[in-house]
């Protein structure tokens, strides 16, 4: 198969050019009936190609022609043995990965910084999490990742666990030591499942943290849409040392039976674009990020970094500390968005996060630099940094699985009366943005002490039904 081809797009074009009059779905009949607003959005050509389940367009649930070919090309490019195209988001890739790999009641290591889709996958699968603490940098005020040491402790304590579900890199680009982690996990007879939502571009530069597939992960869920060029909602599930048929069975349970071909085509095009220009484009993004960092560090109040102790860093993610302006990251985000017309990816109490992708140019970066210089030139306010206390670093086995919690009745009780009860919600403070308590965990006195300290510091709470945290939800 020609690696610079786009099998799905070729099949769509062949069908739509064949002259067959549409007496089939979708109801807009290749754009014929579409509202002008929709025509403007998608273009008449886009709608003409928005076709459905014709024989030459293959079947996402049992791919054997154009989808199969496109997936094979993707597997080759991302160094996997197989690849599945996913149109229901990385959430669905993670659900499929976990449903394929874990049985009800299996123990699985879940670092506390995992995305909510990991917990929802455990609701579907019935597996039981062992929550692992993750590191936090008090100097940079960002969450780091799972340390090798913590994993060693966890394996010793729970050698019967079946897998580790690891998020790497995290939102800020901080990657765990995947090669060491892969070796440890496999030596213990467990599977390594990686949520690589923020890592679809890692494959294309040796200056970036090693990708999950190259590090020996068994399965990896990648958001092609987040940092590469496919449409939002499209992802890939990469398979290395795992039964691909089992993964396909799980994905087939969860994916729509009416996949949108524009979404599939966008995965095909994003793969082709990376096959053609991946190394060049990602290396350009890295050069731009180097320039951006130098400019940021030459301002009076803003600062950024290009390394993190003990962890690898994806340098296309640029975290900017704004505390010396006397602003929170959230306030700085508002100024950038509404006065300076720049939108960052996220803000936290101390930082702004900017993503540079293959699409950036010196022009986009120079506009960002100009805006950050204007932000830096604003009158300084007194610094109001939020306090932090050490996160509890316990490794805890959930007392009830997320599945049991999902179906069980719960009630709110005063915080002080909750010690020893089973928590029925997830509680996260910003900073550090790492859940301190997850649904299914027994509430310890140490965690309540931590919560009370964070309340005193004025930390912002996410996830709790009572945002003042006077009460907490427990299992009835």
Ligand X SMILES: Cc1ncc(COP(=O)(O)O)c(C=O)c1O
> Which tokens go with 317?
């993610």
Q: Cβ closer to ligand X: 94 or 315?
A: 94
Contact flags string 139-168 toward ligand X, x per CB under 6 A: ----------------------------x-
Q: Quick check: 220 binds ligand X (CB under 6 A)?
A: no
Interaction of residue 125 with ligand X, rule CB under 6 A: no
Neighbours of 15 (CB within 10 A): 18
- Please say which residue, 146 or 365, places its beta carbon nearer to ligand X: 146
Q: Give φ, ψ of 140 to 5 degrees.
A: -90, -15
Q: Is the peptide bond before 26 cis (omega within 30 degrees of 0)?
A: yes
Distance CA 354, CA 343 (A): 8
Residue nearest to ligand X as judged by C-beta position: 89
Distance CA 144, CA 122 (A): 23
Q: What angle do CA 341, 201, 247 make, to 5 degrees?
A: 120
Closer to ligand X by CB, 117 or 266: give it: 117
- For residues 109 and 164, is the Cβ–Cβ distance under 8 A? yes
Stretch that binds ligand X, among 87-95, 144-152, 422-430, 448-456 (CB under 6 A): 87-95
Backbone angles phi, psi at 426, to 5 degrees: -105, 135
- Strand bridging mode 142-143 / 128-132: unpaired
Are 197 and 167 in contact by the 8 Å Cβ rule? The answer is yes
- Of 114 and 396, nearer to ligand X (C-beta) is 114
Beta bridge partners of 40: none
Q: Is 353 helix (H, G, I), strand (E, B) or coil?
A: strand
The correct pick among 16, 49, 96, 117 for binding ligand X (CB under 6 A) is 117
Nearer to ligand X, 25 or 256 (CB): 256
Q: CB of residue 232 vs ligand X: minimum separation in angstroms?
A: 8
Phi/psi for 181 (5° steps) reads -65, -40
Comparison of 90 and 401: residue with beta carbon closer to ligand X:
90
Number of residues in the chain? 476
Residue number with CB closer to ligand X (147 or 167)? 167
Binding marks (x or -) toward ligand X, 93..112, rule CB under 6 A? -x------------------
CB of 254 to ligand X, least distance (A): 12
Which residues ranging from 424 to 453 are in contact with ligand X (CB under 6 A)?
A: none
Binding part of the chain for ligand X, among 7-15, 35-43, 85-93, 283-291 by CB under 6 A, reads 85-93
CB of 171 to ligand X, least distance (A): 6
CA 465/CA 215 separation, integer angstroms: 39
Query: Contacts with ligand X: how many residues (CB under 6 A)?
Result: 12
In the bound state with ligand X, the residue whose beta carbon lies nearer, of 262 and 340, is 262
CA distance 317 to 169: 10
Query: Distance between CA atoms of 270 and 259, rounded to whole angstroms?
Result: 17
DSSP state at residue 19: -
Over the window 170 to 189, marking each residue x when it contacts ligand X by CB under 6 A and - when it does not, the resulting string is: -x------------------
Do the beta carbons of residue 394 and residue 437 sit within 8 Å?
A: no
For ligand X, the closer CB: 115 or 248: 115
Q: Is residue 223 part of the contact set for ligand X (CB under 6 A)?
A: yes
Q: How far apart are CA 412 and CA 138, in angstroms?
A: 32
Per rule CB under 6 A, is residue 348 in the interface with ligand X?
no
Q: Give the single-character DSSP code of 140.
A: T
Q: How far is the CB of 40 from ligand X (least distance, A)?
A: 26
Neighbour order of strands in the sheet with 460-462? 434-437, 427-430, 460-462
Residue 195 makes contact with ligand X by CB under 6 A: yes
115 binds ligand X (CB under 6 A): yes
Nearest partner of 221 among 199, 203, 236, 241, judged by Cα: 236
Which one of residues 57, 197, 292, 424 is an interface residue with ligand X (CB under 6 A)? Answer: 197
91, 211, 224, 319: which one contacts ligand X (CB under 6 A)? 91
Please report how close the Cβ of residue 211 comes to ligand X at its closest, in angstroms: 15
Answer yes or no whether residue 235 interacts with ligand X by CB under 6 A.
yes
Q: Which is nearer to ligand X, 113 or 147 (CB)?
A: 113
Which C-beta is closer to ligand X: that of 88 or that of 289? 88
Residue 227: CB minimum distance to ligand X, A: 11
> Whose CA is closest to 252, among 437, 60, 121?
60
Contact footprint for ligand X (CB under 6 A): 89-91, 94, 115, 117, 167, 171, 195, 197, 223, 235
């Amino acid at each position: 198969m020609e690696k610079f081809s786009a099998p799905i797009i070729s099949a769509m074009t062949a069908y739509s050019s064949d002259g067959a009059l549409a007496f089939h779905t979708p109801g807009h009949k290749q754009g014929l009936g579409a509202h002008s607003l929709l025509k403007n959005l998608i273009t008449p050509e886009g709608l003409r190609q928005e076709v459905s389940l014709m024989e030459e367009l293959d079947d996402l649930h049992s791919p054997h022609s154009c989808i199969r070919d496109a997936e094979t090309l993707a597997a080759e490019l991302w160094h996997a043995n197989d690849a599945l195209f996913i149109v229901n988001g990385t959430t669905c890739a993670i659900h499929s990965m976990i449903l394929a790999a874990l049985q009800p009641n299996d123990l699985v290591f879940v670092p506390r910084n995992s995305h909510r889709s990991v917990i929802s996958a455990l609701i579907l699968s019935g597996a039981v999490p062992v929550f692992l603490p993750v590191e936090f940098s008090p100097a940079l005020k960002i969450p780091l990742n799972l340390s090798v040491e913590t994993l060693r402790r966890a394996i010793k304590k729970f050698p019967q666990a079946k897998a580790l579900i690891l998020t790497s890199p995290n939102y800020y680009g901080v990657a765990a030591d995947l090669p060491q982690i892969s070796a440890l996990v496999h030596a213990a007879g467990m599977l390594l499942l990686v949520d690589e939502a923020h890592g679809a571009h890692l494959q294309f530069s040796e200056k970036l943290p090693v990708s999950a597939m190259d590090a020996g992960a068994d399965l990896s869920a990648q958001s092609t849409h987040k940092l590469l060029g496919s449409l939002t909602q499209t992802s890939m599930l990469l398979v290395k040392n795992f039964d691909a048929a089992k993964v396909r069975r799980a994905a087939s349970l969860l994916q729509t039976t009416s996949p949108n071909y524009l979404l599939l085509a966008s995965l095909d095009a994003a793969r082709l674009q990376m096959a053609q220009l991946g190394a060049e484009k990602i290396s350009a993004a890295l050069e731009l990020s180097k320039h951006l960092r130098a400019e940021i560090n030459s301002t009076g109040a803003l600062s950024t970094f290009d390394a993190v102790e003990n962890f690898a860093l994806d340098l296309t993610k640029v975290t900017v500390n704004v505390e010396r302006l006397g602003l929170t990251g959230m306030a700085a985000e508002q100024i950038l968005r509404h006065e300076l017309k720049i939108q960052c990816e996220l803000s936290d109490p101390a930082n702004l996060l900017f993503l540079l992708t293959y699409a950036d140019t010196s022009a986009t970066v120079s506009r960002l630099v100009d805006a950050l210089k204007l932000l830096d030139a604003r009158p300084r306010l007194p610094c109001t940094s939020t306090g932090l206390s050490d996160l509890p670093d316990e490794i805890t086995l959930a007392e009830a699985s997320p599945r049991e919690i999902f179906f069980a009745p719960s009630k709110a009780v005063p915080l002080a009366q909750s010690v020893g009860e089973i928590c029925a919600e997830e509680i996260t403070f910003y900073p550090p943005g790492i859940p301190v308590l997850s649904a299914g965990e027994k509430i310890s006195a140490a965690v309540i002490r931590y919560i009370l300290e964070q309340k005193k510091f004025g930390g912002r709470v996410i996830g709790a039904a009572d945002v003042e945290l006077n009460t907490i939800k427990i299992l009835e």
